[in-house]
């Protein structure tokens, strides 16, 4: 019981082992990624592949039929033999060069295709709406862009061309075998179906074993990802031991699945080699019999060529098994990649969406309703006006709908019904890019990207010069703390910016927003308590930032709220009261209660 309770803390979606029939449609869709190279790299690679294969097929004929044949007839001269040796040598050199070029171009083709798939996937994901990200963890998205795309790598760098090469090789060998000696060819080919039957069974086992490896590995990845991201909470609650126990379990499972898969895998090659030896034995036994018998005209030369071909026969067969595995892995991965690619953004530009010019910054909500999940309403019939150039504070208990209102302003979501208008134009009719350039967000938890402080501020406007950035930082009041850092504006900060304090991060985000110079500014005020000096700096910075803009604040400090031109009080997705601080206090309604209970403890 204790054990079950402990393990139940860790929930990772487990994928089922996929045993689907081969899906041609999906494969064809995957191969459309080769299309851009259909006239350049692909034909060059195929040509080299055909050349290398043709040469390999020709060599045994020269050695067996011509050289040994002439020796057998007794017509061979030293210079003839030298000529044959020369030809074989040239053929080998030719095949060597063709193979080098084939491998080089094949790898290049594969890398280009992987590059294209990853780019397309990333580009697509970037444009997906917030709804998509609400339903998935960052880790699971990462796995698709990295692991699933990587697992297509083998297929495109080796698989496809090798598959073609092996098919051409097999057809070539079978045709030559039949041409040289149909009796001998038939006998040897009899064992082919038997081998295919056994190898298919073996391969299925191997495939399942590798699928288990992938599932175990993805569990291990998820656990690692979560553990590292949540390390501070884990340490704070002293849960390292529980974490370690679970890690041990998934790590052991991972190791065991690898052991099993490599064991199964190791069986395949010896099996192919055994079949190859069996083919050789049959050849020697029956071939010797045919050479001696008067009824057959099998010569020693043909027999030698045959032996060469038999030796070459099993290699493509064993490789075909590998390619089949690669195709199945590729299919599973591409299914997951296509699932993302087929995901349509919920919020998209209309065909005739208008550009935005001369924005004044008046926002109006008309009968707006909204629900995140079509079950529970987050906003009920909201009618609001945010006048251009004014500062409006949104207040209310947690979950009352403050963030939801601001989410609709940048069209991170569209209202379920009703409209949001900017300067009298429905947001749905405005180009999203234009809208978002005019509406900036300053989030409570400022996201700092890995890079310098300079680059982090420049995020607000990629075209800004260093001077513009320093000016913005000065205006906001961030310049003095930046200067005190080791390398000033060139100080490298890590992802999430953990070397910076909450207040400093806020100031950076103000500078970033000032640089973006939007008409409408949405601000989620930090709740963390900040020392009085920084607090003053933030208030000063805020004043500069808000000057002349329409500002919507999810306000947590009474001082900010009191200074606003209008205060909107929300409760369970409804607008309950609105007005200035004094008006609302006089009303002695919800706001009055909120101020008394919630803000009295917070520093004004």
Ligand X SMILES: Nc1ncnc2c1ncn2[C@@H]1O[C@H](COP(=O)(O)OP(=O)(O)OP(=O)(O)O)[C@@H](O)[C@H]1O
Cβ 380 to ligand X shortest distance, Å = 11
Q: How far is the C-alpha of 17 from the C-alpha of 487, rounded, in Å? A: 52
Q: How many CB atoms lie within 10 A of CB 254?
A: 19
Cβ 416 to ligand X shortest distance, Å = 12
Cβ 477 to ligand X shortest distance, Å = 27
Which of the stretches 60-68, 287-295, 357-365, 397-405 binds ligand X when contact is defined by CB under 6 A? 397-405
Angle formed at CA 576 by CA 574 and CA 578, multiple of 5 degrees:
120
Nearer to ligand X, 427 or 570 (CB): 570
Q: Where are the alpha helices (DSSP H) in 532-594?
A: 532-546, 558-563, 581-587, 590-594
Which uninterrupted H or E stretch holds 139? helix 138-143
Nearer to ligand X, 371 or 452 (CB): 371
Nearer to ligand X, 209 or 382 (CB): 382
Closest CA to 555 of 582, 595, 585: 595
Q: What are the angstrom distances between the C-alpha of 45 and each of 2, 24, 37, 91, 101?
A: 61, 24, 10, 19, 7
Q: What one-character DSSP code corresponds to residue 65?
A: I
| Among residues 221, 403, 534, 566, the one that binds ligand X under rule CB under 6 A | 403
- Residue given tokens 């008409």 in the structure block: 519
Nearer to ligand X, 401 or 477 (CB): 401
DSSP secondary structure letters along 260-316:
HHHHHHHHHHHHHHHHHHHHHHHHHHHHHHHHH-SS----HHHHHHHHHHHHHHHHH
Site pattern 134..163 for ligand X (x: CB under 6 A)? x-----------------------------
| Among residues 13, 36, 86, 399, the one that binds ligand X under rule CB under 6 A | 399
Cβ 399 to ligand X shortest distance, Å = 4
Which of the stretches 136-144, 164-172, 392-400, 533-541 binds ligand X when contact is defined by CB under 6 A? 392-400
Our finding on whether 133 is near ligand X (CB under 6 A) is no
Q: How far is the C-alpha of 34 from the C-alpha of 146, rounded, in Å? A: 20
| Among residues 110, 401, 415, 503, the one that binds ligand X under rule CB under 6 A | 401
Cβ 598 to ligand X shortest distance, Å = 11
Cβ 569 to ligand X shortest distance, Å = 11
| Among residues 45, 151, 162, 404, the one that binds ligand X under rule CB under 6 A | 404
Q: What are the angstrom distances between the C-alpha of 511 and each of 238, 434, 456, 545?
A: 38, 21, 10, 8
Q: How many residues make contact with ligand X (CB under 6 A)? A: 12
Our finding on whether 415 is near ligand X (CB under 6 A) is no
Which strand ranges, in their side-by-side order, compose the sheet holding 574-579? 439-442, 520-524, 550-554, 391-396, 566-571, 574-579
Cβ 318 to ligand X shortest distance, Å = 51
Neighbour-count burial for 355-367, b at 16+ CB within 10 Å, e otherwise: ebeebebbbbbee
Our finding on whether 410 is near ligand X (CB under 6 A) is no
Closest CA to 31 of 138, 145, 119, 160: 160
Site pattern 74..113 for ligand X (x: CB under 6 A)? ----------------------------------------
Nearer to ligand X, 371 or 426 (CB): 371
If you count DSSP H runs as helices and E runs as strands, how many of each does the chain have, helices first?
Answer: 24, 12
Cβ 383 to ligand X shortest distance, Å = 17
Which of the stretches 141-149, 169-177, 402-410, 574-582 binds ligand X when contact is defined by CB under 6 A? 402-410
Nearer to ligand X, 297 or 529 (CB): 529
Nearer to ligand X, 402 or 505 (CB): 402
The tokens describing 191, both together, are 């064992």
Cβ 426 to ligand X shortest distance, Å = 22
Cβ 132 to ligand X shortest distance, Å = 11
| Among residues 357, 398, 597, 600, the one that binds ligand X under rule CB under 6 A | 398
Footprint (CB under 6 A) of ligand X, residues 368-387: 372-373, 378
Q: Are 558 and 490 in contact (CB under 8 A)?
A: no
Nearer to ligand X, 464 or 555 (CB): 555
| Residue 454 CA to its chain's centroid (Å) | 29
Nearer to ligand X, 114 or 395 (CB): 395
Cβ 200 to ligand X shortest distance, Å = 47
- Residue given tokens 């920084």 in the structure block: 534
| Among residues 102, 223, 319, 402, the one that binds ligand X under rule CB under 6 A | 402
* Residue numbers at the binding site for ligand X (CB under 6 A): 134, 372-373, 378, 396, 398-404
């Amino acid at each position: 019981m204790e054990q079950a309770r402990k393990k139940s803390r860790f929930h990772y979606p487990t994928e089922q082992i996929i045993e689907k029939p081969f899906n041609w449609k999906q494969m064809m869709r995957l191969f459309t990624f080769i299309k851009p190279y259909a006239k350049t790299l692909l034909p060059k690679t195929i040509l080299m592949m055909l050349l290398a294969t043709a040469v390999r097929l020709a060599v045994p004929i020269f050695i067996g039929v011509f050289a040994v044949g002439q020796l057998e007839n007794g017509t061979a001269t030293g210079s003839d033999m030298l000529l044959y040796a020369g030809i074989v040598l040239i053929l080998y050199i030719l095949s060597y060069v063709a193979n080098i070029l084939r491998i080089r171009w094949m790898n290049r083709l594969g890398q280009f295709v992987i590059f294209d798939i990853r780019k397309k996937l990333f580009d697509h994901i970037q444009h997906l709406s917030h709804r998509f990200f609400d339903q998935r963890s960052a880790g699971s998205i990462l796995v698709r862009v990295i692991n699933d795309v990587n697992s297509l790598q083998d297929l495109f760098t080796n698989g496809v061309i090798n598959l073609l090469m092996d098919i051409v090789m097999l057809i070539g060998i079978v045709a030559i075998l039949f041409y040289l000696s149909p009796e001998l060819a038939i006998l040897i080919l009899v064992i082919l179906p038997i081998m295919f039957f056994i190898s298919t069974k073996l391969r299925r086992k191997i495939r399942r074993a590798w699928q288990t490896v992938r599932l175990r590995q993805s569990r291990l990845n998820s656990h690692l990802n979560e553990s590292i991201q949540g390390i501070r909470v884990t340490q704070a609650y002293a849960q390292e031991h529980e974490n370690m126990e679970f890690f041990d379990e998934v790590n052991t499972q991972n190791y065991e699945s690898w052991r099993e898969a490599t064991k199964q895998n190791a069986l395949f090659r010896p099996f192919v080699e055994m079949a190859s030896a069996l083919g050789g034995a049959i050849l020697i036994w029956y071939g010797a019999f045919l050479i001696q018998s008067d009824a057959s005209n099998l010569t020693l030369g043909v027999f030698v060529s045959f032996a060469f071909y038999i030796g070459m026969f099993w290699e493509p067969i064993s490789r075909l098994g590998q390619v089949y595995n690669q195709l199945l892995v590729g299919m599973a991965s591409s299914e997951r990649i296509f699932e993302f690619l087929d995901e349509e953004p919920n919020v998209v530009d209309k065909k005739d969406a208008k550009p935005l010019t001369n924005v004044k910054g008046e926002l109006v909500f008309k009968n707006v309703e909204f629900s995140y999940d079509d079950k529970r309403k987050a906003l009920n019939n909201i009618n609001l006006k945010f006048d251009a150039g004014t500062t409006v504070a949104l207040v209310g208990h947690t979950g009352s709908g403050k963030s939801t209102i601001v989410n609709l302003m940048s069209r991170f979501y569209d209202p379920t019904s009703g409209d949001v208008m900017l300067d009298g134009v429905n947001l749905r009719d405005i180009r999203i890019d234009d809208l978002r350039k005019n509406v900036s967000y300053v989030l409570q938890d400022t996201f700092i990207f890995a890079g310098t402080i300079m680059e982090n501020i420049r995020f607000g406007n990629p075209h800004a010069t260093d001077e513009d950035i320093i000016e913005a930082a000065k205006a906001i009041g961030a310049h003095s703390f930046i200067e005190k850092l080791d390398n000033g504006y060139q100080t490298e900060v890590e992802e999430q910016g953990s070397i910076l304090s909450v207040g400093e991060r806020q100031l950076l985000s103000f500078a970033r927003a000032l640089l973006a110079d939007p008409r409408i500014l949405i601000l989620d005020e930090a709740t963390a308590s900040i020392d009085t000096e920084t607090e003053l700096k933030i208030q000063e910075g805020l004043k500069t930032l808000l000057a002349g803009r329409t500002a919507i604040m999810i306000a947590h400090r009474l001082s900010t709220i009191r200074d606003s031109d209008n205060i909107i009080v929300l409760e369970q997705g409804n607008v309950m009261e609105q007005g200035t601080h004094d008006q609302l206090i006089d009303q002695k309604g919800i706001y009055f209660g909120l101020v008394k209970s919630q803000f009295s403890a917070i520093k004004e």
